[in-house]
Amino acid sequence: MLESLTIRKFQSHSNTILKFHEGVNVIVGETDIGKSAIVRALRWVIDNRPSGDEFISTGKKNCSVKLKVDGERIRRSKGKENLYRINKREFKAFGQSVPEEVSSLLNISNVNLQSQLDTPFLLSESSAEVARYFNKIVKLDMIDNSLKNISQRIREDRLGLAGKKSKKSTLLESIGEYDWLVDAGDKIRKLSIAEKNISKTSKQVYDISQLIDDIEDLEEKKQELRKFSGAKKDINDLMELSKEIDEEEKSYDSLLEIMRIIEDIEYNIKAMAKEKQELRKELKKLMPDICPLCGQEVR
């Protein structure tokens, strides 16, 4: 049920609030006080028409229409934002249509609205049109639409079934041309098994050939070693000679050490002789030529 309507900055309405009662509601008033604008505001929310922004009050930049339906609040606004809102949920980018959630909640059509200049409801309509209205009111039109859709679907399914039967017949005829595929499948499976056996045998052959190559390499090394078997005595002599050389090197190192010691001693002797000469010179400076004690000449 539509409980209330709030119109702000929509045509001549700056801030209008209307409350509705259960049943038929009639809006009455003097000329040019905005009765049609009220219906137009309702249609703007219900149908999202008219488009554009000419209905915004002169000098204003935005407008809004708010409905309270069965306790839910629906708000339609236009300005910086173009959106519907159900309570706190926002709906944008809906184009020329109305968001499905909004239309489902409103459940209002042209049957529910009548303008001032409209003809009396149903009195000027044909019997078929009156029946259509009543069917719509009691939801019988949904049954008609459903039956129509079902009939259409049955026709489409029959055509599709006939086409599929024809296609099935054609496929059955063409299948006979491919009977050889059954035998071909068995042959392919046998060939696959044979291929696996060949691959396994090839690997074994490869491993055997590698072993043969390794044996041949070992045989060549064996022959080379045999050539050196007669050189055993020479190798022993060389080892003995190497030992003697090692002993000579040790003796040579000892002699070198002794020579270094002798060189150090000679160096110390020379240093001491030089120091002795220096001491004689100092002594000569300090002592007279003749000793005062013994009277002998000091040399």
Q: How crowded is residue 57: how many other Cβ atoms within 10 Å of its Cβ?
A: 16
Task: Kindly report the average pLDDT of the chain as a whole number.
Answer: 82
H-helix or E-strand spanning residue 4: strand 2-10
> Which pLDDT score, from 0 to 100, does residue 142 have?
67
Q: How far apart are CA 19 and CA 30, in angstroms?
A: 19
pLDDT digits (tens, 9 = 90+) for 239-290: 888 788 888 778 777 878 888 888 888 888 888 888 888 887 877 777 656 6
**How confident is the model over 55-66, as pLDDT tens digits?**
999 999 999 999
Residue 252 CB-density burial (10 A; 0-12 exposed, 13-18 middle, 19+ buried): exposed
| pTM exceeding the 0.75 threshold for the entire prediction | no
Phi-psi region of 192 (alpha: psi -120 to 50; beta: other; left: phi over 0): alpha
Listed in order, strand segments (DSSP E) in 82-163 are 82-86, 89-91
pLDDT at 293: 58
The DSSP secondary-structure symbol of 111 reads G
pLDDT of residue 291: 58
Pick 30 or 177 by higher pLDDT: 30
Domain 2-118 falls under CATH 3.40.50.1980:
no
